[in-house]
Amino acid sequence: MHHIRLTTSIVAVLATFSSAFLVPTMADARPLVGNSKSNFQYHSTLGVDTITVLDQETLLPGQHFTVKVLFAKHYNGHIYPKTSGLGFDKALFDAIDHTNFTVKQYTTTAEVKANFPNSELAKLPATLRTELNTNRWQLKERNRQDVKSLAFKTSAGSKYHYVELNDKDYKTDRVGLGHDDLIALEFTFRLKDDAKIADNLHIGGYFSDPNNSAVIASYGKNWHSQLASQTLNVRTTADVELLTKPGEYEPGQKVKLEAKVSPADYQGNVTFHVGTETFTAPVTNQMATAEYTMKEDSVTVTAGLAATATHSAAISAVVHLLKPKGAEPEITDPKEDNTDAPSGQTPGNSGSSAGNYWWAILLGVLGVLGIGGGIAAKNFGLI
C-alpha cells in the first residue's frame, strides 16, 4: 500500500510557517503616558493672551516632550516682546537636559491652526480670530524671534527659572505684537536619564515687555510668571512581560497566566486581559499569576500595569491561545491506491508482478533495437 506522507522536516517547516502568522513575537512592553492638554490665560497687566499646549502630562526619564506657547495682543497698544519663552519650576528646570533641545517659530496661519486647539484660539480677540479663520495671518519678518539665542536662565532666590528667546529687533521695533498680533513658538526638551519622581511641576509662557515693568518674572513672583501654566508629573518607567506561552490549549484546560514586572520596586497589581475577561493579581517579588480556563477556539491575552504614584503604566505584547486543530489525516494518491487489489496484483491488471517485470524488459529491448535500427538505416541512406 503506497501513501504520500508528510515527512518530519516538512511538518516542522509548516509548523514554523503557520506559527509565524498565528503567534506574534513577544515585544518589549510600552509605557503609557498622559494625553496632550492645553491652557489659556489673559494677563491684564501686559494685555496679552497666552495659550500653552503640553503634549504629555506624565513624563519618564530620558523622554522628549514638546511645549507650544502662543502670545497674542489682547488690546491695542505698543506691546512687544523683549524676550519670550517658557518659565519652569526649579525642579523641572533642573531635570531638563540643557544641551538637548529644539525650538522653532510658527510663521503661517496653517501652522498656528494645526498646533493650537480651536477651543483655545476661539478665546483670542475678534480681529485676530478673523485673520486666522480667513487664513490671512502671516508673521512679519520684523517680529521673528532669534531661535539661536535660546538661553537657560535662573532667577536668584526664586523657584522660577526660564528659557528665553530675544526679539531680533526689540530695540528699534516699538510695535511688535501691536503689529503682528501673535507670536507662536514650539520647544522640544529631553528629561535627564536620572530625573527624579515629582508631582505638579509647572511650566508656562514667559514674556518680557519693556513698557510693563520690563521682565514679567518680577510680577507675582513665581506663579504668574508662568502664563497659562501647565502641570506635569515625572514617573519611573515600568514594564510588564507576559510569560504565558502562546500555543494550543484544549477546551477546559487550565492556563497559567504569568507576568514579570520591572523595576523591582513597583508595587501594585497586574491585570490580565483574556478576550473580554479580566483577572487581577498582586505583584509579589516582581511576579504576578492567575488562572484561566480555555473556552474559545482562539483568544488573545495581554498583561497591564496601572500607573501609580511613582511609576508609569505599561502593557505587554499580545499572546495568542489556540484550540488544537486535531491530527492531520494522511494524504493518499488515488493513482497509487491498491488497497482492494489481491496480493501481488495491481488494480486493473490481472497479471503477476513477475509477468509485468518481463514485459517491461521485453519492451525495453525492443525500444533499444528500434532506436539502433533507425540510426543504422539513416547512416546507410535508407531513410
Mark which of 171, 204, 234 sits at the end of a domain.
234
Report yes or no on 361 lying in a domain.
no
Specify the pLDDT at position 46. Answer: 74
Q: Which of 212, 120, 103 is nearest to 165 (CA)?
A: 103
Give ∠ CA 124-125-129 in degrees, rounded to 5: 70
- The domain of 193 spans 34-234
Measure the CA–CA gap between 333 and 314, rounded to whole angstroms. 54
Closest CA to 37 of 60, 58, 54, 59: 54
Residues in the chain: 383
Same domain for 301 and 221?
no
Within a domain: residue 372?
A: no
Q: How many Cβ atoms from other residues are within 10 Å of residue 125's Cβ?
A: 16
- Tell whether 152 is covered by a domain: yes
Last residue of a domain, one of 173, 202, 234: 234
Please check whether residue 343 lies inside any domain of the structure.
no
Spatial distance between the Cα atoms of 117 and 51, rounded to a whole number of angstroms:
9
In a domain, 175, yes or no: yes
CATH code of 73's domain: 2.60.40
Q: Which of the residue ranges 68-82, 88-102, 268-282, 321-335 has the most confident prediction, judged by mean pLDDT?
A: 268-282
Adjacent-strand bridge partners of 206: 85
Tell me the C-alpha distance between 82 and 49, whole Å: 16
Q: Is the domain of 102 the same as that of 203?
A: yes
Inside any domain, residue 333: no
Q: Is 296 inside a domain boundary?
A: yes
Q: With DSSP H G I counted as helix, E B as strand and the rest as coil, what are the percentages for the chain, rounded to 5?
A: 20, 40, 40
Q: Which residues contact 32 (CB under 8 A, 6 or more apart)?
A: 307, 312, 313, 314, 315
The confidence score (pLDDT) of residue 290 equals: 97
Q: Are 206 and 250 in a shared domain? A: no
pLDDT at position 73 over 80? yes
Residues 223 and 189 in one domain: yes
Is 303 a member of any domain? yes
pLDDT for position 312: 84
Contact 269, 282 (CB under 8 A): yes
Q: Which of 292, 322, 352 represents a domain boundary (last residue)?
A: 322
Please check whether residues 222 and 250 belong to one and the same domain.
Answer: no
- How far apart, in whole angstroms, are the C-alpha atoms of residue 151 and residue 198? 24
Q: How many domains does the chain have?
A: 2
Q: Examine the domain organization and report whether 79 and 143 are in the same domain.
A: yes
Q: What is the pLDDT of residues 248-303, one digit of tens each?
A: 998 899 999 999 999 999 999 999 999 999 999 999 999 999 999 998 889 999 99
CATH number at residue 304: 2.60.40.10
Lookup result for grid cell 536668584 = 156
44 plus 92 within the same structural domain: yes
What's the average model confidence in pLDDT over 319-324? 88
| 233 vs 202: CA distance, rounded Å | 9
In a shared domain, residues 78 and 221: yes
Share of the chain above pLDDT 70, in %: 63
Verify that 314 and 283 share a domain, yes or no: yes
> Does residue 101 sit in the same domain as residue 174?
yes
Specify whether 208 is located in the same domain as 111. yes
pLDDT of residue 156: 56
- Cell numbers placing 215: 521682565
The alpha carbon torsion through 45, 46, 52, 58 (nearest 10 deg) reads -50
Q: Tell me how crowded residue 222 is: count the other CB atoms within 10 A of its CB.
A: 16
pLDDT in tens, 191-214: 998 888 888 888 998 877 666 544
Q: How far apart are CA 196 and CA 96, in angstroms?
A: 11
pLDDT band at 321 (very low <50, low <70, confident <90, very high): very high
Percent of the chain, pLDDT > 90? 33
Cα–Cα dist 98/189, whole Å: 8
Handedness of CA 88, 93, 95, 99 (dihedral sign): positive
Mean pLDDT of the chain: 74
Least confident of 11-20, 41-50, 69-78: 11-20
Are residues 9 and 17 in contact, defined by beta-carbon separation less than 8 angstroms? no
Whether residue 135 is found in the same domain as residue 222: yes
Among residues 325, 330, 283, the alpha carbon closest in space to that of 2 is found at 330
